[in-house]
Amino acid sequence: TAPRTTPGPLPVAELHLHLDGTLEPEHVLELAARNGVDLPFADIDDLRSRYEFTDLQSFLDLLYTNLTVLRERADFTEMVDRYLERAAAAGVRHAEVSCDVQAHTRRGIPLETVMGGLRDALDRSVATHGVTTRLLVSFWRDGPVDEAFDLLRALVASGIPFDGIGLDSAEVGFPPELFTDVFAFAREHGLHVVAHGGEEGGPEYVTGALDALRAERIDHGIRSLEDDALVERLVAERVPLTVCPLSNVRLRAVDTMADHPLLRMLERGLVVSVHSDDPPYFGGQVDANVDAVVEALGASDEQLAHLARNSFESAFLADDERAGYL
């Protein structure tokens, strides 16, 4: 197919983005110096050399070390602002971003510092970056359920606005059913609910997220293809799957980009869209993910338009807002 003729990156909604995973390595070191945080890296080259992963856990180890440089309210604001600036340049018009708030509160950073800092950037994002946003708070599926529940109650009690919750971190061995009550509480409080599933774990993690958590969207979900009945259900119920091709290759969930199931998923009628997960760790924003898919899989302009439309249709936008993007 001929290359896309419209100038600039494809306008999309970013729906699978971990804010804690958006710090560029230079920014990690800048914040470490500013806040007097000791990191186990000699310099920027040493830090950069660590961005080679063998699986999800090897990435999470680096991510969770790097995010300890965030200490002050302004640090969180700066992280979000820098992300939104890069996202806008990559074609993102609407961003549903998540934060592992638990990763910060368990280090003793007050909830108000984390959430206040995020909100300071998000509340002026339309004016500053021309990007509408939603905020999701993600919980560690490999962390204590009680800790997640206590934090969720505190978040709701704080009155600080957020739009939903998610479930992330190490998947295998930490089934969604563990978080049934946490997610029920969130839904009772009018929050949207999403969950990672079928990234490293099998299709039963996706089924569990649907049945036990009533997840409205599945983050990744690529291994759903191993279960035909699940695929039929996801298609029939139009459950969106937020797929991150560069992440999947870098974390070895998929061998090479040429093997990536994205277009097979699209062809089976799944509501898939392309996202970036943790951009500096995996090689770029949404536009880089789209470019990789075009290069390795030969996605057509029509398929790219379909993926972009799916991203807006899968977003937690009101119908009138959505209409403005479609």
Residues annotated as part of the active site: 199
- When binding is defined by CB under 6 A, the residue of 14, 96, 278, 287 that contacts ligand ADE is 278
Tell me how far, at minimum, the Cβ of 199 lies from Zn ion, in Å. 7
CB of 21 to ligand ADE, least distance (A): 5
What's the Cα-to-Cα distance from 53 to each of 50, 63, 86, 172, 251, rounded to whole Å? 8, 11, 24, 17, 6
User: Does residue number 14 form part of the binding site for Zn ion (CB under 5 A)?
Assistant: no
Gyration radius (Cα) of the chain, Å: 19
Strand partners, 138: 166
Q: Which of residues 203-242 bind ligand ADE (CB under 6 A)?
A: none
Nearest approach, Cβ of 314 to ligand ADE (angstroms)? 17
92-99: strand order across its sheet: 12-18, 92-99, 132-140, 164-168, 192-197, 217-220, 240-243, 271-274
Choose among ligand ADE, Zn ion, none what residue 104 binds, the Cβ cut-off being 5 to 8 Å by kind.
none
* Residue 44, token pair as written in the block: 């920027």
- Contact pick of 93, 277, 308, 325 for Zn ion (by CB under 5 A): 277
Least distance (Å) from ligand ADE to the CB of residue 278?
Answer: 5
- Pick from ligand ADE, Zn ion, none: which does 200 bind, CB < 5 to 8 A by kind? none
Nearer to ligand ADE, 56 or 136 (CB): 56
Q: Is 18 in the site for ligand ADE (CB under 6 A)?
A: yes
Long-range contact list for 80-85, CB < 8 A, 24+ apart?
80/19, 80/22, 80/117, 80/118, 80/121, 80/122, 80/125, 81/121, 81/128, 81/129, 82/22, 82/24, 82/27, 83/17, 83/19, 83/22, 83/279, 84/121, 84/125, 84/128, 84/129, 84/131, 84/133, 85/129
* Contact mark string toward ligand ADE, 40..59, x via CB under 6 A: ----------------x---
Tell the smallest beta-carbon distance from residue 102 to ligand ADE (Å): 12
Q: 169 touches which of Zn ion, ligand ADE, none (CB within 5 to 8 A by kind)? A: ligand ADE
Q: Has 16 been labeled as part of a binding site?
A: yes
Specify the 3-state DSSP secondary structure of 25.
helix
**Residue number, 81 or 277, with CB nearest to Zn ion:** 277
Closest C-alpha among 137, 208, 138 to residue 173: 208
The answer to whether the annotation marks 18 as part of a ligand binding site is yes
Phi (first) and psi of residue 251, to 5 degrees = -95, 10
Token digits for 214?
A: 């009533």
User: Is residue 247 close enough to count as binding ligand ADE by CB under 6 A?
Assistant: yes
Among 199, 273, 286, 299, the residue binding ligand ADE under the rule CB under 6 A is 199
Give residues in contact with ligand ADE (CB under 6 A). Answer: 18, 21, 56, 168-169, 196, 199, 247, 277-278
